[in-house]
Structure 1
Amino acid sequence: FSSISWNGSDGFYYSTYEKPEGSLLSAKTDTHKLYYHKLGTPQNSDKVIFGEGQKRRYVGGYVTEDGSYLIITAANSTSGKELFLLDLKNPKSGIVTLVDNMNNDSSVLDHRNGKLYIYTNYNAPNGKVVVVDAKAPQQANWKDLIPESKNVLSPSMGGGYIFAKYIKDAVSVVTQYNYDGKPVREIKLPGLGSAAGFEGRPDEKILYYSFTNYIVPGTIYSYDTSTGSSTIYSKPDVKFNSDDYVSEQVFYTSKDGIRIPMIITYRKGLKRNKHNPTMLYGYGGFNISLTPAFSVANLVWMENGGIYAVANLRGGGEYGRKWHDAGTKLQKQNVFDDFIAAAEYLIKNDYTSPNYLSIRGGSNGGLLVGATMAQRPELFKVALPAVGVLDMLRYHTFTSGAGWAYDYGTSADNAEMFHYLKGYSPLHNIK
């Protein structure tokens, strides 16, 4: 689990775990360290920059665009991390702490003219952008630049601007801001779907972004930062006509009355006769948002008369931290209930019926499918729990499993958590 960040052309920063003793399967990956490798030297002479003498499960480091600062992040779970800073112009000054706890997530977007631009969900569950003097960067000195909104924020920087990429009901909305936090324009996207990119050096006049949805292959656009105009730069050669398909968003009600979005995609002319093979996909965890994306495999499914449905369950990041937390630990059953309610919606509205309905998910989504098939086997004909977390009583005892405890809790926490996990653990409930 490492990225590489270059320090000019002198060398680069990277992270690695200690070589485990004994079993590779059971050894804990709980001591991550950040190293610096100088080009032309052997790896065994690499210096430890962060992580010596303290256990951190996930450590990373990256250099700001202007090469002034090394940003260091450290975490023990998939949510919440510490944030540190090293002045590369004066490395002897030592590592400075920006955030000294793991109660929220923050990351430095960039450094410009002595100021650090930071994304954070500190006191802002949906995220915001703050600015601070690089010489006094502690959290107490942060000032709001782009305040929190009702939509989840994922910002980037390029071309001398900040691009606020929001998720609104699981689709992208992008607003361009200047460095003073003033909105320049809302960017006109090609349609309803997922946009990513809008990154580059401060002096770039043209930036690039990708756009996709369930019936539009991933296409790269060039974007003029001064005029706001977009032009297709590159698109894949996929032999199909998106006009032959329908991709509609619906909202349904879960067991406890919460409103859940779902996008249903199929070939035009399909009749709701209860006999359509339907694949329901979900994830519902780790603050991950399922936004529209194109897949040739799904296209083949739909070409042959299948329906493809994606439900945006609690536990994901579609509506911010509160939405995520509503599907964690002792509230994990909400995720399964949301998924079951999605299936019931498809059946009630005659898209399909239990004999023609399949469910699919991977990793945390594999747990979702495993738990759902154990709880409501009569709702589905086929279940595909890919690489699922299926033993909820012992998952945390192997390799990186303990890092998932923010979402799941562990059987070692207390008796209540043990019995809750045992109540839905697929391995312990399958018949």
Structure 2
Amino acid sequence: SRIRVFDLAGRHERDVQLPAIGSAGGFGGRRTDRETFYSFTNFTTPGAIYRYDIATGESHLFRAPNVAFDPADYVTRQVFCTSRDGTRVPLFITHRRDLGDGPHPTILYGYGGFNISLTPGFSVANLVWLERGGVYVVANLRGGGEYGRQWHEAGMKDRKQNVFDDFISAAEYLIEQRIAAPSTLAIRGGSNGGLLVGAAMTQRPELFAAAIPAVGVMDMLRYHKFTIGWAWVSEYGSSDDAAEFANLMKYSPLHNLRAGTCYPATMVTTADHDDRVVPAHSFKFAAALQAAHTGDPPALIRIETKAGHGAGTPVSKRIDAATDELGFLTRELGRGKE
């Protein structure tokens, strides 16, 4: 986040100096208040509360949770890679401060759609990955809301390939910088991000060691015929339109699996009561992947029972899912160091 302070006439007074790269929110209060409070979090900092002195512009820690690790042991930096058409795409890269030379086991995460911005936030599962010497990377792709309306529209409909190009370029950057290697790089995304992972692994299977497309939209020719899918036509287009059919066919993960291809080790995940992205997407993709795939890497599907698209999932099920995914990634990316 970047927080700017203006007076009532609209003149810029100062920027709030945040503790580190991260996400801030709050700053509520009355006009006469001499102080206000804001929350701050990032990839290695659970939500903390800071007191902000309006007169001096200084921030001081007010409340922070007691945790069994030191956030100072980790570092996050923002870098930019160059996409296929020359667009600069930002990445957040987080790892242990004492991490040595690479390549390292790395998770590349993305979404790239529906005007949704990916901002730094804390996750226990991601911290476990970092503690074990892994690298966690978030790519802010076109289609998201990070840079406003034009950034979103650059990843919609017939421009959706830009999103996949951005993600693939991020992977290539990590490999070029020796942060990761094709044998140590995994990709993950959920929902629209599951589509992203499915498209990336079918377009560039040799680039990744593992993939986790979670509750993904995999059948782009029929997605609008199931539950709420019709509401996404403004984002993706519809196969009922001849021109849009041709574009969707080019990247639909289900329809771009090629027989005799060695794909990355894959764990497709879904839930039996998902009425947002119906599990048929994952069922069909997993079956088609298993039929087309050659080589040793496994092609698996994990089906959560009595669960939906993710919201409201109890902690016990979240722990089980994170355990399975981290175990899968540790096993598959560990092969790159054998």
The normalised TM-score by structure 2 is 0.72
Please tell me whether residue 250 in structure 1 is matched to residue 79 in structure 2: yes
The equivalent of 1:107 in structure 2 is none
Please tell me whether residue 195 in structure 1 is matched to residue 24 in structure 2: yes
Q: 1:207 to 1:283 in 2, by over 3 A?
A: same
The residue matched to 1:173 in structure 2 has which SS? coil
One-letter identity of the residue aligned with 1:250 = V
Partners of 2:132 and 2:251 in 1: CA distance:
35
Partners of 1:284 and 1:397 in 2: CA distance:
23
Which stretch of the first structure deviates more once superposed, 209-218 or 336-345?
Answer: 209-218
Map 1:172-251 onto structure 2 (within 5 A): 172-200=1-29, 205-251=34-80
Partners of 1:243 and 1:203 in 2: CA distance:
36
Please tell me whether residue 290 in structure 1 is matched to residue 118 in structure 2: yes
Following superposition, the deviation at residue 227 of structure 1 comes to 4.0
The residue matched to 2:3 in structure 1 has which SS? strand
Q: Is the 8 A contact 1:199 1:207 kept in 2?
A: yes
Q: 1:240 to 1:425 in 2, by over 3 A?
A: same
Consecutive unaligned residues of structure 2, counting only runs of 5 or more, are 258-291, 293-338
The residue matched to 2:169 in structure 1 has which SS? helix
Partners of 1:217 and 1:405 in 2: CA distance:
37
Map 1:14-163 onto structure 2 (within 5 A): none
More helix by share: 2
Please tell me whether residue 418 in structure 1 is matched to residue 235 in structure 2: no
Q: 1:203 to 1:408 in 2, by over 3 A?
A: farther
Q: 1:181 to 1:300 in 2, by over 3 A?
A: same
Partners of 1:242 and 1:322 in 2: CA distance:
35
Partners of 1:326 and 1:181 in 2: CA distance:
31
Match of 1:265 among 94, 107, 117: 94
Partners of 1:408 and 1:206 in 2: CA distance:
45
Please tell me whether residue 389 in structure 1 is matched to residue 217 in structure 2: yes
Bigger RCO (CA 8 Å, 6+ sep): 2
Please tell me whether residue 309 in structure 1 is matched to residue 137 in structure 2: yes
Following superposition, the deviation at residue 415 of structure 1 comes to 0.8
One-letter identity of the residue aligned with 1:188 = Q
CA RMSD between the two structures? 1.8
Partners of 1:303 and 1:352 in 2: CA distance:
17
Following superposition, the deviation at residue 390 of structure 1 comes to 1.4
- Cα deviations across residues 350-373 of structure 1 (Å, max 9, x unaligned)? 112112111001111111001111
Q: Is the 8 A contact 1:284 1:316 kept in 2?
A: yes
- Cα deviations across residues 76-116 of structure 1 (Å, max 9, x unaligned)? xxxxxxxxxxxxxxxxxxxxxxxxxxxxxxxxxxxxxxxxx
The residue matched to 1:374 in structure 2 has which SS? helix
Please tell me whether residue 337 in structure 1 is matched to residue 156 in structure 2: no
Partners of 1:244 and 1:304 in 2: CA distance:
13
Following superposition, the deviation at residue 290 of structure 1 comes to 1.3
- Cα deviations across residues 126-157 of structure 1 (Å, max 9, x unaligned)? xxxxxxxxxxxxxxxxxxxxxxxxxxxxxxxx
The residue matched to 2:10 in structure 1 has which SS? coil
Please tell me whether residue 403 in structure 1 is matched to residue 228 in structure 2: no
More strand by share: 1
Partners of 2:136 and 2:160 in 1: CA distance:
25
Partners of 2:53 and 2:178 in 1: CA distance:
45
The residue matched to 2:90 in structure 1 has which SS? strand
The residue matched to 2:187 in structure 1 has which SS? strand
The residue matched to 1:369 in structure 2 has which SS? helix
One-letter identity of the residue aligned with 1:394 = R
The residue matched to 1:407 in structure 2 has which SS? helix
Q: 1:349 to 1:417 in 2, by over 3 A?
A: same
The residue matched to 2:2 in structure 1 has which SS? strand
Identity of matched residues, %: 60
Please tell me whether residue 352 in structure 1 is matched to residue 180 in structure 2: yes
Partners of 2:83 and 2:151 in 1: CA distance:
14
One-letter identity of the residue aligned with 2:242 = A
The residue matched to 1:341 in structure 2 has which SS? helix
- Cα deviations across residues 21-62 of structure 1 (Å, max 9, x unaligned)? xxxxxxxxxxxxxxxxxxxxxxxxxxxxxxxxxxxxxxxxxx
Partners of 2:102 and 2:61 in 1: CA distance:
39
- Cα deviations across residues 385-426 of structure 1 (Å, max 9, x unaligned)? 1111112112222232222222211212x2110111111111
Consecutive unaligned residues of structure 1, counting only runs of 5 or more, are 1-171
Please tell me whether residue 364 in structure 1 is matched to residue 192 in structure 2: yes
**How many residues of Structure 1 are paired with residues of Structure 2 in the alignment?**
258
Partners of 2:11 and 2:133 in 1: CA distance:
48
Q: Is the 8 A contact 2:49 2:61 kept in 1?
A: yes
Following superposition, the deviation at residue 335 of structure 1 comes to 0.4
Q: Is the 8 A contact 1:272 1:352 kept in 2?
A: no
